[in-house]
């Protein structure tokens, strides 16, 4: 490398390369005159106190990882087009584009962002503009055709210039946009319905699409756009990933986006106006807005398999309902290029945007974030699974002293979809998330279903932090059955929809709570703890043992259904203290619950309190879910930055290797990677062996249903 810095100019000579590594930074107060190659895999920080020129007109400069403008003088003058791969930070000073463009890139692994613009920073334009991209990839099955709920994070282009690429057939960019108005209105061809539409709150419905694609594309609402693939993909052709892009000006602190008003008892669609991910909880929300937002997930099933809504509510700790698809874990963010819905209850409200709401990063519109949320609230999360194990829909009930049993802004109304719906009903309101006061005896969750097909389904009920002094039963009004539901572990309840109309009745299911009755135990004290070898030591004592025949130690995985572990004959019966113990050598992998059944000499029975030994807190470096697995779509979850290549082997009970694969886990993968297992695998127990490049093996038991 040859580089010199005479008279305030950092020059990279022709034939030379300046390579800024991943964890390195170039900080300079000079002009940069690149005549060779400038590679920025780390950071470039321009922090002069006089005008700086960047990056030079003659050399090569590939896509940069991070560029920070931190000039306290006359600012930065671009003298060629540049591309940003991760982040453009405008901390201080003016970025003068002149006649050059800044491309904010998006690809299959990462979407770049213009992070929060500082109070003393700004942008000025000549003929140059920002080009903001949004990559849209395919699902695990190689399909792309789906509705996408999109915003436009720049201003100035028409629909035709932007998403139709000016009418050209561009490989890898844009998409085909259709409407009954056809080519006379600028559309690519006439279609029975529109492939682009905007939600009209006053009508509680979408419109029929723009009158012409010559209309400016930017609006505050965003668009629902049907994406088939790039500009080469029209009706009936194979799909292909595409990148949508717009060339225009950005909102800045000096030119902020307008506030959005939401009428009472109405939904409103809102487009993220920034070329950055934003945090919904950091938006300025006023009035009667519900503590909820809704995003469209193109990977969820609907009537035609082209997507459905995720309901993301603060009541449910920002965990999406029904989840799955692109969304796992806590999800408070809205992506660059993504639109969302909000709802106002009894009174109108507003949403205002500011730079403070930006998170500085971004991911794919069809990929969510994965975080860990801690909460003391109690949850019942219920999911409707199809016969193949895919998520059809879901809901959540949340119990807390801060909530009332009336429907209000703490509840998330349900947006119905074309396919199966599985929600909660309270009065005449349909809910995706219901906030309620703590559970009392006879509390009932009323499930609502519709559009069910004649097939087998399962209801997955997952409790969290529930009061174990209560019990729950799922009532099936069609079969007239009651199924006990664990309040400490996941429950799968299978059912069938037949040609009998009552089997698909909207009120077929409800969940009823009752209080467990625990008899006085005459001073019997029970303790249980996990030993260092993983076994569980159980001890109990009767402080004044008398008239006792025996003690039956019982064990459960759910605190409802108990089985006998051992029986101990009473030792003393003299009114004095008696102590007993037992080691559980084969505890359950999850939670373990124990109680003592105390049998008196006259046959009377009393029970001790139930004690719980929680599952081990140290999460494995690699885990899988769901497990047991219905269907064949398996998620591998990484808890640390263990980036690299992994070989996968599936071993059956006979020790035979029945399937192999490989994966690449990198910074663009999030914390989860999906595997599609072969359809011909039979149900039963397997071991999934995950081997890293160093030969370290992670062996995980897997049950296929």
Q: How many CB atoms lie within 10 A of CB 673?
A: 17
The DSSP secondary-structure symbol of 159 reads H
Say yes or no to pLDDT of 520 above 60.
no
Say yes or no to pLDDT of 519 above 60.
no
Can you tell me the mean pLDDT for 131-143? 78
- Is it true that the peptide bond before 322 is cis, omega within 30 degrees of 0? yes
Closest CA to 351 of 364, 341, 362, 337: 341
Q: Comparing 298-307, 414-423, 481-490, which segment has the lowest mean pLDDT?
A: 298-307
> pTM of this prediction?
0.74
Closest CA to 112 of 358, 329, 312: 358
Q: How high is the pLDDT of residue 559? A: 80
Say yes or no to pLDDT of 8 above 80.
no
Q: How high is the pLDDT of residue 562? A: 83
- Rounded distance between C-alpha atoms, residue 330 and residue 577, angstroms: 50
Structural domains in the chain plus CATH codes: 3-128 (no CATH), 260-361+372-515 (no CATH), 524-613 (2.60.40.10), 622-704 (2.60.40.1220)
> What is the overall mean pLDDT for the chain?
88
> What is the per-residue burial (b if ≥16 Cβ within 10 Å, else e) of 128-145?
bbbbbbbbbbbbeeeebb
Say yes or no to pLDDT of 524 above 70.
yes
Say yes or no to pLDDT of 521 above 60.
no
pLDDT tens per residue across span 536-566: 999 999 988 888 889 999 998 778 778 889 9
Q: How high is the pLDDT of residue 575? A: 82
Closest CA to 554 of 533, 532, 534, 582: 582
Q: Which two tokens stand for residue 330?
A: 């806590």
Contacts of 332 (CB under 8 A, 6+ apart): 279, 280, 281, 312, 318
Q: pLDDT band at 378, cuts 50/70/90?
A: very high
SS3 117: coil
Closest CA to 200 of 190, 208, 212: 208
Greatest Cα pair distance in the chain: 103
DSSP line for 357-398: GB-S----TT----------SEEEEEEEE-TTS-EEEEEEEE
Q: Comparing 216-220, 253-257, 401-405, 599-603, which segment has the lowest mean pLDDT?
A: 599-603
- Is it true that the peptide bond before 587 is cis, omega within 30 degrees of 0? no
Q: Let me know: does 262 contact 268? Beta carbons within 8 Å.
A: yes
- Rounded distance between C-alpha atoms, residue 528 and residue 3, angstroms: 69
Say yes or no to pLDDT of 368 above 70.
no
Q: How high is the pLDDT of residue 5? A: 47
Say yes or no to pLDDT of 365 above 60.
no
Closest CA to 431 of 422, 440, 441, 439: 422
Q: How many CB atoms lie within 10 A of CB 90?
A: 26
Q: How high is the pLDDT of residue 411? A: 97
Beta bridge partners of 77: 53, 96
Q: pLDDT band at 372, cuts 50/70/90?
A: very low
Q: pLDDT band at 168, cuts 50/70/90?
A: very high
According to DSSP, the β-strands at 592-600 and 548-556 are antiparallel
Say yes or no to pLDDT of 338 above 70.
yes
Q: How high is the pLDDT of residue 3? A: 36
E strand segments, 116-160: 120-124, 130-136, 146-150
According to DSSP, the β-strands at 102-104 and 130-136 are parallel
SS3 320: coil
pLDDT tens per residue across span 51-109: 999 999 999 999 999 999 999 999 999 999 999 999 999 999 999 999 999 999 999 88
- Rounded distance between C-alpha atoms, residue 332 and residue 314, angstroms: 9
């Amino acid at each position: 490398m040859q580089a010199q810095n005479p008279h305030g100019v950092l020059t990279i000579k022709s034939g030379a390369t300046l390579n800024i590594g991943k964890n390195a930074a170039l900080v300079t107060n000079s002009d940069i005159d690149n005549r060779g190659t400038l590679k920025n895999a780390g950071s470039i920080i321009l922090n002069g106190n006089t005008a700086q020129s960047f990056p030079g007109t003659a050399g090569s400069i590939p896509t940069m990882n991070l560029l920070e403008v931190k000039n306290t003088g006359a600012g930065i003058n671009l003298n060629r087009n540049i591309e940003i791969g991760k982040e453009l930070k405008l901390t201080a000073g003016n970025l003068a584009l002149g006649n050059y463009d800044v491309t904010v890139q998006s690809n299959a692994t990462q979407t770049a962002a213009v992070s929060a613009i500082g109070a003393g920073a700004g942008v000025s334009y000549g003929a140059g503009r920002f080009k903001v991209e949004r990559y849209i990839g395919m699902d695990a099955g190689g399909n792309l055709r789906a509705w996408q709920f999109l915003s436009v994070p720049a201003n100035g282009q028409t629909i035709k210039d932007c998403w139709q690429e000016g009418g050209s057939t561009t490989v890898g960019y844009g998409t085909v946009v259709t409407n009954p108005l056809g080519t006379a209105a600028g559309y690519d061809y006439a279609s029975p319905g529109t492939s682009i539409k905007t939600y009209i709150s006053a009508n509680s419905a979408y419109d029929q699409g723009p009158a012409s694609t010559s209309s400016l594309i930017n609006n505050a609402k965003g668009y629902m756009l049907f994406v088939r693939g790039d500009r080469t993909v029209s009706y009936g052709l194979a799909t292909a990933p595409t990148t949508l892009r717009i060339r225009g000006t950005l909102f800045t602190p000096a030119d902020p986006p307008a506030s959005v008003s939401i009428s009472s008892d109405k939904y409103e669609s809102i487009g993220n106006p920034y070329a950055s991910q934003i945090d919904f909880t950091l938006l300025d929300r006023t009035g009667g807005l519900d503590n909820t937002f809704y995003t469209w997930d193109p990977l969820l099933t609907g009537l035609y398999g082209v997507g459905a809504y995720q309901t993301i509510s603060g009541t449910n700790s920002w965990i999406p309902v029904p989840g799955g698809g692109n969304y796992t874990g806590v999800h408070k963010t809205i992506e660059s290029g993504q639109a969302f819905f909000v709802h106002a209850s009894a009174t109108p409200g507003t949403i205002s945007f500011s730079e403070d709401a930006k998170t500085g990063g971004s991911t794919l519109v069809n990929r969510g974030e994965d975080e860990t949320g801690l909460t003391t609230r109690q949850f019942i999360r219920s999911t409707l699974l199809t016969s193949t194990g895919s998520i059809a829909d879901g809901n959540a009930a949340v119990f807390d002293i801060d909530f009332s049993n009336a429907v209000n802004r703490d509840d998330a109304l349900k947006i119905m979809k074309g396919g199966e719906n599985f929600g909660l009903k309270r009065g005449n309101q349909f809910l995706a998330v219901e906030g309620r006061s703590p559970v009392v005896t006879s509390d009932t969750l009323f499930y609502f279903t519709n559009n069910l097909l004649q097939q087998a389904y399962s209801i997955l009920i997952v409790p969290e932090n529930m009061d174990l002094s209560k019990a729950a039963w799922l009532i099936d009004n069609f079969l007239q059955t009651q199924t006990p539901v664990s309040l400490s572990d996941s429950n799968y309840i299978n059912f069938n929809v037949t040609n009998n109309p009552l089997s698909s009745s909207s009120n077929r299911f409800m969940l009823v709570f009752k209080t467990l009755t625990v008899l006085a135990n005459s001073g019997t004290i029970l303790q249980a703890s996990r030993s260092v070898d993983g076994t569980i030591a159980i001890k109990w004592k009767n402080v004044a043992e008398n008239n006792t025949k025996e003690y039956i130690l019982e064990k459960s995985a759910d605190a409802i259904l108990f089985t006998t572990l051992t029986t101990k004959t009473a030792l003393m019966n003299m009114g004095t203290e008696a102590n007993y113990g037992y080691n559980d050598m084969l505890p359950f992998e999850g939670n373990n619950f124990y109680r003592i059944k105390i049998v008196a000499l006259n046959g009377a029975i009393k029970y001790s309190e139930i004690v719980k030994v929680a599952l081990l807190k140290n999460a494995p470096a690699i885990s899988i879910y769901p497990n047991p697995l219905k269907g064949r779509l398996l998620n591998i979850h990484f808890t640390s930055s263990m980036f690299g290549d992994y070989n996968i082997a599936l071993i059956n009970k006979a020790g035979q290797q029945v399937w192999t694969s490989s994966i690449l886990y990198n910074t663009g993968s999030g914390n989860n990677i999906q595997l599609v297992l072969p359809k011909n695998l039979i149900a039963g127990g397997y071991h999934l062996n995950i081997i890293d490049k160093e030969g370290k093996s992670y062996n995980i038991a897997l049950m296929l249903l």
